[in-house]
Structure 1
Amino acid sequence: MNEPLLRLRDLKVHFPLGAKRLWQPQSVLKAVDGVSLDLYRGRTLGLVGESGCGKSTLARALTGMTAITSGELAFEGRDMSRGSAADWQRLRRDVQMIFQDPLASLDPRMTVGQIVAEPLRHLRKDMSRAQRGERVRAMLERVGLSGAQINRYPHEFSGGQCQRIGIARALVVEPKVLICDEPVSALDVSIQAHIIELLQELQAEFDIGVLFIAHDLAVVRQISDDVTVMYLGRVMEQARGQALFERPAHPYTRALLSAVPRPDPLVERSRERIRLPGDLPSPSDPPSGCVFRTRCPWARADCAQQRPALRTMNASQQAACLHAETIAEATAGTVAEGECLAV
């Protein structure tokens, strides 16, 4: 496989909490705590996990909107982990983002034409005004809107149409990486399918790498080539292709898969779900050892003592669990292995 467009190694994003007191260490919120992953051209990496696990913070760090505490972030081999504001400004054209709330991400005082043209004004100063207008109309039509709508305002569009405008704005400068922060979670199910299909078509057309953030594993399975599962700022499991859905190695992944509804009502009523006790711990005071151990039904004494590193389970799968093999053997043929997720 070619060199990755984005390469992360032990990336951390920590936020200090409150003023530091004399003789006491300052409390720190560990939003992202040592994440490593690779994003390749022409492939989609799905990033999943519960709300509060650090997905959106990681996305903001990848676009320079949030400062990186430590670790390596490289774009096409260029180290951006200590990049200045000027360095990130030069990278803006290559890394673009689509946000979760389609309407809130668009300026209500600007027309659709102005919104989509804004990246061109800042990042393509070589283009004339006429060229920008032509490019904007072509991009709006490519995402399923009409060039005649160029002078309308965001409130005149539906949620799905506003997300199409957001996609047009992100792709109008022809980036190499597209970061999608839960782009379909605020949309109706029928609209979700159209937006996902559009993203797949545009990815193939522009040959870009896509980081697709979501908490819905059914959607992630439909669009992703690779999958990374996060919990409390750390990576629990990584896999290529369908390995994660067919053979989940980490207990947290198994719990997420068991929560996804099945299309067959008979199967849905009869199957047993894995219910995790308690709530997500605070990232400012994470559990020792394995951060998932306080909710894991398979936790043992050594899970509190040792932080598990990502271990290779097979040629296409890694998991951060001390007892992954034992759990897989004890639960073979149960939970979600081989089942078809509903989309």
Structure 2
Amino acid sequence: MASFGRLTAALTSVHNENALSLANLNFDFTLVKLEAPAEFNGLGMTLSPRRKQDGEQGALHKTARRLGALFEGCLPKTPSLFRKYGKRVSEISSQPSINPQGHQAHDGIFASQAGADATSIWAAVTSGPAALASHMLACMLARIFTPPEATAIWAEIVAHRKCQIEKQCQEDSYFHQQEAASLAAGQDIPRKDLAEWDASARAWIQSADQARALQHKQIMLILNNVSVPVNQQPDTYESVLEAWKGALEAMDNLAQGIPQRVLDSAALLAISAWHMYPDMLVLRKEPKTIKQKDDLFLETALLTIGLEGVGRKNVSWSLPLAYLQYYGDPVRTTRSASH
């Protein structure tokens, strides 16, 4: 993943006692574009010129850069997972049945919109590792929540993370050295941009579901029959961060061939949303081994799902969404993978 470190535009080194004032400088860090890792080259080759340009220069790229800068400081490093994910999305995007190439003669003005919408993936991989992790969270949220709910979750965790960074700036005199986070905290991410971020990820997983139809059907059957919540954190930000980080870490270890045992279903939700299928051992009344035969993983990559919850018959996630409505108390929303 060394290619993530090669900048196509150089960041300016700035020293300022007030970190948040960096956002007022003329430099726009959202315009920085990184070279996509080699594993994603297959995806890049199948994108229409319009979508590729949008992913590198458009609103989705700016959103990816901002989200990546905001959350980079609180996410684990998962290079093995990102490499495997790059291979998988490149495989899916190369399938003509899922991603036919648009032709002006046949598709007219819609030629640039033909095929699978992988714009947010390209925006993420040209923005950095934390941006790619943000795309992968968008896929998890899109799998289980409706578009308005997912957008509300993004709005809430973005607002919470900005407050964290502002507090760190006030308490740590050296925090201004983390310029990208400070810049991101000082910039607005409009709700419209968050909705578009969700919509692009949602469109991608729908196409990928078709490309991996048999494995998708099997994992959804598992999700609908395992009574384990994503987690039971009462706070939206803490719940999302715990699920996000837990899924990234578990899947990165599996990508390295390291077996994992989890007591919640965040990793299961990630498997369904990221279309990566390690073998599983589900500990119910009678342990059941599920062979998924995904050549992305070594035979040693076994995910053990332990302990069952009560009251529900499928994977569920309950969050109090303070940003679902503009006025009034937070709305507690519970969704399952079969909603």
Q: TM-score range by the shorter chain?
A: under 0.3
TM-score, normalising length: structure 2: 0.25
Higher CA-based Rg: 1
Is the strand fraction higher in 1 or 2?
Answer: 1
TM-score under structure 1 length normalisation: 0.24
